[in-house]
Amino acid sequence: MERTLIIGVGSHFGDDQLGWRVAEMLSTQPRPGVRTTSIASPDALLHLPGGDDHWVIVDAGVDRDCTGSILRLEWPSDNIPAVRPRGTHDLGLVASLKLVEALGDLPRRVMLWIGFVREDGTASEMSEQAEQLACEIANRIRGELSAASVAVEERDECTKLR
Amino acid sequence: MSEVRHIRVKALSRVEGEGGLDVELLNGAVHDVRLRIFEPPRFFEAFLRGRSIHEVPDIVARICGICPVAYQMSAVHAIEAALGVPTTPFVRLLRRLLYCGEWIESHALHMHLLHAPDFFDCASGIELAQRFPDQLRRGLRIKKHGNELLDVLGGRAIHPINVRIGGFHRAPTREEFAPLIPRFEWGLDAVIEATRWVATFPFPDFEQPYEFIALTHPDEYAMNEGRLASSTGETWPVEKFADVFEERQAPHSTALHAVRRDSGTPYLVGPLARINLNFAQLCGVAQAVARDIGFELPCRNPFKAIIARGLELIHAYDEALTMLRHYTPDVAHVDVAPRSSSGCAATEAPRGLLYHRYEINDAGQIEFATIVPPTSQNQLQIESDLRSWLPRVLNAGDETLSRTCENVVRNHDPCISCSTHFLRVNIQRN
């Protein structure tokens, strides 16, 4: 059985919770072969236990021109936006993935989902728009995992949240 | 006719913040070297004015994501000095433990991802990881330990929130620290091996006539307390900092240049300075490793700062482990009563001496703040290193010349964001 790890990247704050919220939604109905985890920064990818065949990474991004949209990419890609570098001493998502890859620890398949939100985590609550993006991403990931013959029960998270 | 060659490194990589380097060569000789810091000024000293003293530890932590503890420690000690607040033995112990966490995460990052690639002509830590995966994996685990300690004691892995004037908001329980002990036992062995590894690197034969400056303390490897000490043999109380050193403006830099006030000469702070001045206070394990790898003092080769960081890592693990094993929670802070006063303090950030001075009013608000970070103190010395280094590589092509100049700068792990009040290399051959 293929081992899939869904990784939400985020924080406790505002729309930056998006990645964690998606991981939480997908964890409510655990399925064989699929696990979820939440991390606060991409360099935590370097310390995840190995053995997975497939990573699904979900993070929030901020781009004024793309707010409200979802970007889905398969690693490697030249089109990954610069999400989450906090400084030149910090590893962003791309650098972290490259380092995991250089160490030979990257699963054979890595999918990236980025939900573009309005702000990056200065509020305490997620905006309605970010909640909807999280629901949409969760549903699409569930659909892809189902299509890949991973048993995931269909459910409308958006309805549940409202 | 004179021949001019300009070499410009537009943006230095693997340093924190934004800066560049301009080199002008005239008739094959070094004419001018300017370490340009163009990261915009951040005005921390100005916007601390009018803020409550109790806000200062959390505000100054935001100066740097790598060394927030250093800013917090210098700030709380300076304000406590102003208010006459004694540091209890328990708070003193916790502050050293917090500093150990920061030294571990900062030194591990610089050694493995920022500095080590220079010795193997690797463009990045990612490239180095392909050649030395086991060593890099070990280094990343060491770094994580530092962040974990900050998380437990500081409340967060980055920008800790548990530091307050008078101590800590809350003392962790023994149970919270307990999981760290086996990790730090592994880590102590790991940093010894990491230090042995970096000691085998191909170091250029390059010595500089440094004046080293660091805190020194008779009973411990100085972190939070001590007297200012120079490799000249002079020592001063921290209160004399502004009498001994001054900051000067340089047109090409948004960071101030610190020099000795009496001679106008540069000096060096950081791990190499500390190891040279305070070797006797290093823990026994670190001293034994230093002897075993043939690390001789005085060491004036800036490329060997990576070994100094390794030895300090050993010390930080050793000391942290002792504190974690014998930890007994106590009262986390003492109360503080504001009054009109002024005070200063210096502590040892991973990159070197960090000086703070504050003036406080009766309402407990900051009237005036002075922050002198290590990188601004090292900036003139880095330019001096480059002047000494360049004649060795003048015949090289611009690309090689630029790359080796960056290596010289990275020896000192400059933190431009901290110092802004700083990297690109431009080389001009005339």
Question: A99 to chain B: which residues are within 8 Å by CB?
Answer: 125-126, 129, 136, 140
Residue B85 CA to residue B421 CA, distance in Å, equals: 30
Alpha carbon of residue A7 to chain centroid: 5
Domain ranges of chain B: 4-212+238-276+302-429
Cross-chain Cβ contact B16/A89 below 8 Å: yes
Residue A155 has pLDDT above 90, yes or no: no
Stretch 40-69 of chain B: residues touching chain A, C-beta under 8 Å: 65-66
* Nearest residue of A to residue B156, measured between CA atoms: A40
In this predicted structure, what is the pLDDT of residue A159? Answer: 42
Cross-chain Cβ contact B66/A87 below 8 Å: yes
User: Per-residue pLDDT tens for B323-362?
Assistant: 999 999 999 999 999 999 999 999 999 999 999 999 999 9
Residue A77 has pLDDT above 90, yes or no: no
**What is the percent of chain B with per-residue pLDDT over 90, rounded to a whole number?**
74
Cross-chain Cβ contact B140/A46 below 8 Å: yes
Question: A103 to chain B: which residues are within 8 Å by CB?
Answer: 129, 133, 136-137
Band of residue B40 on the pLDDT scale cut at 50, 70, 90: low
Structure tokens at B280: 């006797």
Residue A132, classified by CB atoms within 10 Å of its CB into exposed (0-12), middle (13-18) or buried (19+), is: middle
Band of residue B420 on the pLDDT scale cut at 50, 70, 90: very low
Average pLDDT over residues B371-385: 91
Average pLDDT over residues A47-61: 93
Sign of the four-CA dihedral B313, B77, B421, B250: negative
Question: B129 to chain A: which residues are within 8 Å by CB?
Answer: 99, 102-103
Question: B157 to chain A: which residues are within 8 Å by CB?
Answer: 40
Average pLDDT over residues A96-100: 93
Band of residue B428 on the pLDDT scale cut at 50, 70, 90: low
In this predicted structure, what is the pLDDT of residue B421? Answer: 35
Average pLDDT over residues A69-97: 78
Residue B175 has pLDDT above 90, yes or no: yes
- In angstroms, the separation between the Cα of residue B100 and the nearest Cα of chain A is 19
Stretch 73-92 of chain A: residues touching chain B, C-beta under 8 Å: 86-90
- Of the candidates B229, B270, B252, which has an alpha carbon nearest to the alpha carbon of residue B381? B270
Q: Please state the length of chain A.
A: 162
- Identity of the residue in B126, B141, B144 whose CB atom sits nearest the CB atom of A98: B126
Residue B22 CA to residue B426 CA, distance in Å, equals: 4
- Identity of the residue in A46, A47, A102 whose CB atom sits nearest the CB atom of B130: A102
* Nearest residue of A to residue B12, measured between CA atoms: A88
Amino acid identity, position A154: E
State which H helix or E strand residue A19 sits in: helix A18-27
Domain ranges of chain A: 4-161
Q: What are the phi and psi torsion angles at A40 (to 5°)?
A: -95, -25
User: Per-residue pLDDT tens for B93-144?
Assistant: 999 999 999 999 999 999 999 899 999 999 889 999 999 999 999 999 999 9
In this predicted structure, what is the pLDDT of residue B430? Answer: 58
Q: Which CATH architecture has domain B4-212+238-276+302-429?
A: Orthogonal Bundle (1.10)
Residue B292 has pLDDT above 90, yes or no: yes
Cα distance from N-terminal residue to C-terminal residue, chain A? 35
User: Per-residue pLDDT tens for B213-255?
Assistant: 999 999 999 999 999 999 999 999 999 999 999 988 877 777 7
- In angstroms, the separation between the Cα of residue B212 and the nearest Cα of chain A is 26
- CA angle (A122, A140, A7) in 5-degree steps: 55
Q: How many CB pairs under 8 A join A and B?
A: 44
Overall fold of domain A4-161? Rossmann fold (3.40.50)
Stretch 139-158 of chain B: residues touching chain A, C-beta under 8 Å: 140-141, 144, 157-158
- In angstroms, the separation between the Cα of residue A150 and the nearest Cα of chain B is 32
Stretch 283-322 of chain B: residues touching chain A, C-beta under 8 Å: none
Cross-chain Cβ contact A47/B144 below 8 Å: yes
Residue A147 has pLDDT above 90, yes or no: no
Question: B65 to chain A: which residues are within 8 Å by CB?
Answer: 86-87, 89-90
Q: Taking a C-beta distance cutoff of 8 angstroms, is the pair B416, B64 a contact?
A: no
State which H helix or E strand residue B180 sits in: helix B180-198
- In angstroms, the separation between the Cα of residue A90 and the nearest Cα of chain B is 8
Cross-chain Cβ contact B65/A98 below 8 Å: no
Q: How far is CA B252 from CA A55, B370, B375, B398, B420, in A?
A: 46, 21, 15, 22, 12
Band of residue A152 on the pLDDT scale cut at 50, 70, 90: very low
